[in-house]
Amino acid sequence: MSDAARDTPTTVPPLSNEEATRLAAEVLDRVGQAVVGKRPALALVLAAVLAKGHVLIEDFPGLGKTLAARSFAQALGLDFARAQFTPDLLPADLTGSYVYDQRTSEFSFRPGPLFAGLLLADEINRTPPKTQAALLEAMQEGQVTVEGETHPLPRPFHVLATANPVEYEGTYPLPEAQLDRFLMRVDFGYPSADEEYDVVARRVARQREEVVVEPVTDAAGLAGLQAAVERVQVDESVGRYCVALAAATRGHAEALTGASPRGSLGLVLAARAWALVRGRDYVVPEDVKAVARAVLGHRVTVRPELWMTSASGPRIIDSVLASVPTPQTLERRDLQPQGAGPGPGQR
């Protein structure tokens, strides 16, 4: 397949804010048919995809991480590929390689699993750093370089990676540069008793193991959703609030290193997508707070002497959210009764 054939058509269907919000809700509904009881986490994953980002899903085995990735690919109408990361996985196993074609007596490029609309990088922490690094160019630049030749990846292109936070034997911690390429890190958590029974009941009712999610849109439709996100407005006070949150992580007492400017940019992008999912064409501080832990938590490094304590990236973000003043946007001022003081959480 040629590179031109892999690219999404340049014509992106225009979507109004209402159409985009309705389509996003329908995608979440379809994915929710397969992944039970995880709508808040699924909404974060969808927001990251709409913001043209990549997601690291880190949680215990058996909580639906792989199922969620496959379901999103089906609902969004994207080509899906899965790469099982193992200690013997080579970079060429991801990017592809040149193979000698005896019919033409020439070397031709055979694409790897990276050439898909959505790649599931399963157990990404079980492969050596050299192979992990093969993802860097793909995730940041949307292309891969093999033997000096650059090959563009399809558009849209997204990586949903999974990692197991237990069983560290035989694993390789993700480098900071690799973690920084993920717009969000999301965890699902264990379901409630009712939700877990719902999983069992649905499996018995469908009488088969696999779950098939009907597509809601396609690659061009997703591009339209992403274009709608770009039209979401961000007030200067909200933008400065995002910068202040990222900057506060750098001076936190429990942090060795804080979020980089890529973190504040990611916060703005994710908040715009979250606002669209919530049905607005403008960002409010609550949108920023909703995505802050997922966007900034993995960009903060805890001081080594605190590793045996409860200190963690998400805890630092919670502390920063509590200490950085929340801006009073125009919408908040309009809703504030005349002569009243600041409301709860406003400073």
Residues 49 and 148 in one domain: yes
- Residue 279 gets the label, from left (phi > 0), alpha (psi -120 to 50) or beta, of left
User: Any bridge partners for residue 108, and if so which?
Assistant: 99
- Report the predicted TM-score, pTM, of the whole model to 2 decimal places: 0.86
Q: Of 174, 194, 225, which residue sits at a domain end?
A: 225
- In a domain? residue 117: yes
Residues 287 and 208 in one domain: no
Q: Of 201, 225, 249, which residue sits at a domain end?
A: 225
CA dist., res. 136 & res. 323, Å (int): 34
Structural contact between residues 249 and 255, judged by C-beta atoms closer than 8 angstroms: yes
Residues 287 and 240 in one domain: yes
Type and span of the H or E element at 162: strand 158-163
- In a domain? residue 347: no
- pLDDT string in tens for the chain (347-residue length): 334 334 444 456 678 889 999 999 999 999 999 998 899 999 999 999 999 999 999 888 888 888 999 999 999 999 999 999 988 899 999 999 999 888 888 888 999 999 999 999 998 888 888 888 888 889 988 999 888 889 999 989 999 999 877 665 667 778 787 888 899 999 988 889 998 999 999 989 988 888 889 999 999 999 999 999 999 999 999 999 999 999 999 999 888 888 999 999 999 999 999 999 999 999 999 999 999 999 999 999 888 888 778 888 899 999 999 999 999 865 544 433 333 333 333 33
Residues 204 and 251 in one domain: no
Q: Of 225, 247, 274, which residue sits at a domain end?
A: 225
- In a domain? residue 7: no
The CATH number of the domain holding residue 179 is 3.40.50.300
Residues 210 and 238 in one domain: no
Residues 47 and 195 in one domain: yes
The CATH number of the domain holding residue 281 is 1.10.8.80
Residues 276 and 242 in one domain: yes
Contacts of residue 308, defined as CB under 8 A and 6 or more positions apart, other chains included, come to: none
Residues 210 and 294 in one domain: no
Domain housing 41: 13-225
User: Any bridge partners for residue 122, and if so which?
Assistant: 84
Residues 75 and 100 in one domain: yes
CA dist., res. 166 & res. 195, Å (int): 24
Q: How many structural domains are present in the chain?
A: 2
- Hey, how many other C-beta atoms are within 10 angstroms of the C-beta on 80? 18
CA dist., res. 325 & res. 345, Å (int): 8
Residues 156 and 104 in one domain: yes
Residues 191 and 138 in one domain: yes
- In a domain? residue 336: no
Residues 220 and 263 in one domain: no
- Hey, how many other C-beta atoms are within 10 angstroms of the C-beta on 243? 15
